[in-house]
């Protein structure tokens, strides 16, 4: 129990609600969810942030309405991360906005002088995307509207809207059918006036 005194429970679970830049209505933050730099985060209505996920809000983080960040996900800050509405990020997935430059540099923190270099890249995940479990999204990637990324994929390139991508690295393996007009009308009838 002595070690618990050093843990920062203020940055976990529902304690984050008043620390983020914006927290919409109906947001559910599970008790073992953790975030650093919450002042840079905007979380829109009805999002769910699951236990054991970790987010560094970095430069900026926006998560749209009804999106889910599930168990053991990592969103690593340093640049800007935008996640649209109704996005599912599957268990164990990683969204990276920085990586080390490897050629001619060391890949370790806190070395003196010009011995290491970090490369940053914004990540954008558009509305209605589905990121399968244990996928990794690399810095600078844009994932189009309605994209499905298969489980265990490495996303190191942009993905076109409504495509199905799978592999290491990902490649386009098919296209996804858009929601029916009837289903679309149900969603469009909802209140989206405060949409990011």
Query: Mean pLDDT, to the nearest integer, of 54-66?
Result: 96
The answer to whether residue 196 sits within a structural domain is no
pLDDT at 193 over 80: no
Q: What is the pLDDT of residues 104-143, one digit of tens each?
A: 888 888 888 889 888 999 999 999 999 999 999 999 999 9
Handedness of CA 37, 38, 44, 48 (dihedral sign): positive
Assess if residue 194 is contained within a domain.
Answer: no
For residue 1, name the pLDDT band (cuts at 50, 70, 90): very low
> What pLDDT, on the 0 to 100 scale, is given for residue 94?
98
65 pLDDT more than 70: yes
Residue 31 lies in a domain: yes
Q: Is residue 193 part of a domain?
A: no
Indicate whether 148 belongs to any domain.
yes
Is residue 10 included in any domain, yes or no? yes
Interval 70-91 mean pLDDT? 96
- The count of structural domains within the chain is 1
Residue 139 lies in a domain: yes
50 vs 28, 74, 117, 159, CA distance in Å? 8, 11, 32, 26
Look at the chain and count its residues. 196
Residue with tokens 């923190």: 109
Per-residue pLDDT reduced to its tens digit, 150-160: 999 999 999 99
If pLDDT is split at 50, 70 and 90, which confidence band does 8 have? low
Quote the CA–CA distance of 187 and 49 in Å, as a whole number.
21
Decide if 103 is inside a domain: yes
Apex CA 68: angle with CA 183 and CA 98, to 5°? Answer: 125
Q: How confident is the model at residue 10 (pLDDT cuts 50, 70, 90)?
A: confident
Above 70 in pLDDT, residue 2?
no
The larger pLDDT score, comparing residue 59 to residue 7, is at: 59
pTM score, whole prediction? 0.91
Residue 188 is predicted with a pLDDT of 85
CATH number of the domain where residue 88 is located? 2.160.10.10
Domain, as residue range, for 150: 2-188
């Amino acid at each position: 129990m002595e070690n618990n005194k050093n843990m920062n429970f203020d940055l976990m679970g529902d304690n984050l609600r008043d620390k983020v830049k914006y927290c919409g209505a109906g947001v559910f933050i599970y008790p073992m969810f953790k975030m650093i730099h919450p002042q840079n985060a905007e979380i829109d209505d009805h999002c769910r942030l699951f236990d054991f996920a970790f987010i560094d809000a970095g430069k900026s983080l926006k998560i749209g309405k009804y999106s889910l960040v599930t168990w053991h996900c990592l969103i690593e800050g340093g640049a800007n991360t935008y996640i649209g509405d109704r996005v599912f990020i599957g268990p164990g997935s990683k969204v990276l906005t920085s990586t080390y430059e490897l050629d001619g540099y060391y890949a370790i923190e806190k070395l003196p002088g010009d011995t290491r270099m970090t490369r940053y890249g914004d990540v954008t995940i558009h509305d209605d995307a589905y990121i399968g479990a244990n996928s990794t999204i690399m810095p600078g990637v844009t994932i189009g509207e309605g994209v499905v990324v298969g489980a265990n994929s490495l996303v190191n390139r942009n993905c076109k809207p409504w495509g199905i991508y799978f592999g290491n690295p990902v490649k386009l393996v098919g296209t996804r059918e858009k929601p029916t007009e009837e289903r679309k009308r149900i969603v469009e009838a909802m209140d989206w006036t405060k949409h990011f």
